[in-house]
């Protein structure tokens, strides 16, 4: 499921209404709102803005999730023991940015309204285990990562994987955030992008979405910043529909037409018995037995992320396509045809043995 974020204190009702309609036209189904920054001195006026756009979102058939912390129950004069007020608002999911003891969360999942209780996935601890020990209704228990407004504070890939696997192993639906490069609004005065993974912060939004979904760890993707451009909404929609795993590459200047054909006209497959030095795609070897493939652009050193084609001097291996996973000495029997940009190297990690994948050409600026 794809989602957008709305911050009622940062925009007019009509702006948000139109944004909802535009997002819906591209297949978005979920809306995220945060109550963490609600005006404590004027709760009723703040809630009036929220409830108005929540009603509109439900009328446009969006699922609505709100970000929450336990003190807000007291601020609103409500209790976690009775979620009737959330049902009356039209809320489908309450995301707990900060939790309680585990007992309360488990009790909340048993609410009769079908409201999902969403846990913060970005705080790695025994928190999930505590909740599971109290026997929650797992059908109404999900997880969603944080976004991180300050640059360099987002999760590393290792943290992201470690935290996400814990939820996946418990068979819970998961979500994470990507950031718009055109949207300007977040919940707080300062925001330098609203993404979960730090290495996503300055990447095109379609690449961010593709990475999250291809990781196999995330079900729902939410745009953290408000008012992504229509082009960005289109990119997100297209990335979510495309199940084929992709690797972005730049090409060497003297690549031949035949080498280009071998890269882009075929679907590649990660051979299951490949070594730690390379991803091997061997399907094409049988297809080009009778075609010439001379030496072209050999190099003394092969670098991590290099895209390689074995030439005719390699005998029966001619036409094999490789992606270098480690540096190693070059060979005149190996043609260097391209590279994975430095800020796209993570895409190699999403390709698993025996999986199909395709290459996509990007320009030298790695846009």
Residues with Cβ < 8 Å from 77, sequence gap 6 or more? none
Dihedrals phi, psi of 309, to nearest 5 degrees: -130, 130
pLDDT for the residue 274: 80
What does the DSSP assignment read for 286-352? GGGTTS-----S--SEE-TTEEEEE-GGGGGGTT-EEEESS-EE--TTEEEEEE--GGGGGGGGGPP
Please state, for a pLDDT cut of 70, what percent of the chain lies above it: 99
Q: Over 90: is that where the pLDDT of 280 sits?
A: yes
Instruction: Please tell me the distance from the alpha carbon of residue 90 to that of residue 87, in angstroms, as a whole number.
Output: 5
pLDDT of residue 290: 93
pLDDT at 123 over 90: no
- pLDDT of res. 156: 97
> Within 13 Å and on the Cβ side, how many CA atoms surround 17?
10
Task: Pick the more confident residue, 148 or 243.
Answer: 148
Mean per-residue pLDDT for 108-121? 98
Out of 2-16, 54-68, 183-197, 328-342, pick the least confident. Answer: 183-197
Average pLDDT over residues 217-231: 98
Strand, helix or coil for residue 205: helix
Q: With the C-alpha atoms ordered 241, 244, 245, 249, is the resulting torsion angle positive or negative?
A: negative
2-243 in CATH: which number?
A: 3.20.20.70
30 with 63: CB under 8 angstroms? yes
Instruction: Identify the pLDDT of residue 5.
Output: 98
Residue 365: the pLDDT is: 53
pTM of the model: 0.92
pLDDT digits (tens, 9 = 90+) for 242-264: 989 999 999 999 999 999 999 99
Q: Which pLDDT belongs to residue 364?
A: 67
CA angle 121, 124, 127 (to 5 degrees): 80
Confidence of residue 89 (pLDDT cuts 50, 70, 90): very high
Closest CA to 337 of 235, 252, 250, 239: 252
What are the residue boundaries of the structural domains of the chain, listed by start? Answer: 2-243, 247-361
- For residues 240 and 2, the answer to whether their CB atoms sit within 8 Å is yes
Q: Can you tell me the mean pLDDT for 278-289?
A: 95
Confidence at residue 366, expressed as pLDDT on a 0 to 100 scale: 46
Is 189's pLDDT higher than 90? no
Q: Specify whether the CB–CB gap between 37 and 9 falls below 8 A.
A: yes
Q: What is the mean pLDDT of the chain?
A: 96
**Choices 1.20.120.420, 2.40.100.10, 3.40.50.300, 2.30.110.10: CATH for 247-361:** 2.40.100.10
Sign of CA dihedral 193, 35, 122, 209: negative
Sign of CA dihedral 223, 229, 234, 239: negative
CA distance 186 to 1: 21
Q: What is the DSSP string of 111-138?
A: -TT--EEEEETTS-SSHHHHHHHT---G
């Amino acid at each position: 499921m794809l989602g957008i974020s709305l911050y009622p204190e940062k925009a007019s009702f009509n702006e948000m209404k139109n944004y909802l309609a535009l997002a819906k036209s591209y297949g978005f189904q979920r809306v995220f709102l945060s109550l963490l920054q609600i005006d404590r001195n004027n709760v009723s006026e703040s809630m009036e803005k929220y409830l108005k756009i929540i009603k509109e979102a439900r009328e446009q058939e969006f699922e609505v999730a709100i970000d929450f912390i336990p003190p807000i129950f007291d601020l609103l004069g409500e209790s976690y023991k009775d979620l009737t007020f959330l049902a009356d608002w039209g809320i489908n999911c309450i995301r707990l940015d900060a939790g309680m003891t585990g007992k309360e969360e488990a009790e909340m999942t048993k609410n009769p309204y079908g409201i999902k209780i969403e846990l913060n996935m970005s705080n790695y601890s025994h928190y999930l285990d505590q909740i599971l020990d109290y026997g929650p209704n797992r059908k109404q228990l999900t997880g969603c990562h944080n976004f991180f407004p300050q640059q360099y504070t987002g999760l590393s890939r290792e943290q992201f994987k470690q935290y996400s696997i814990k939820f996946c192993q418990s068979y819970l639906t998961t979500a994470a955030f990507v950031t718009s490069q055109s949207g300007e609004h977040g919940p707080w005065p300062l925001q330098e992008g609203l993404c979960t993974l730090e290495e996503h912060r300055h990447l095109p939004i379609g690449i961010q979405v593709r990475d999250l979904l291809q990781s196999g760890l995330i079900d729902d993707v939410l745009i953290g910043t408000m008012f992504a451009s229509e082009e960005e909404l289109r990119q997100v929609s297209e990335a979510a529909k495309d199940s084929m795993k992709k690797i972005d590459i730049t090409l060497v200047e003297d690549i031949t037409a035949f080498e280009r054909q071998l890269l882009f006209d075929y679907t590649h497959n990660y051979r299951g018995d490949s070594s730690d030095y390379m991803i091997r795609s061997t399907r094409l070897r049988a297809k080009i037995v009778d075609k010439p493939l001379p030496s072209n652009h050999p190099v003394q050193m092969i670098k991590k992320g290099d895209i390689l084609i074995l030439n005719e001097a390699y005998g029966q291996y001619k036409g094999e396509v490789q992606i270098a996973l480690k540096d190693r000495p070059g060979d005149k029997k190996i043609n260097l045809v391209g590279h994975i940009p430095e800020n796209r190297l993570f895409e190699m990690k999403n390709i698993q043995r025996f999986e199909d994948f395709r290459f996509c050409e990007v320009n030298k600026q790695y846009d």
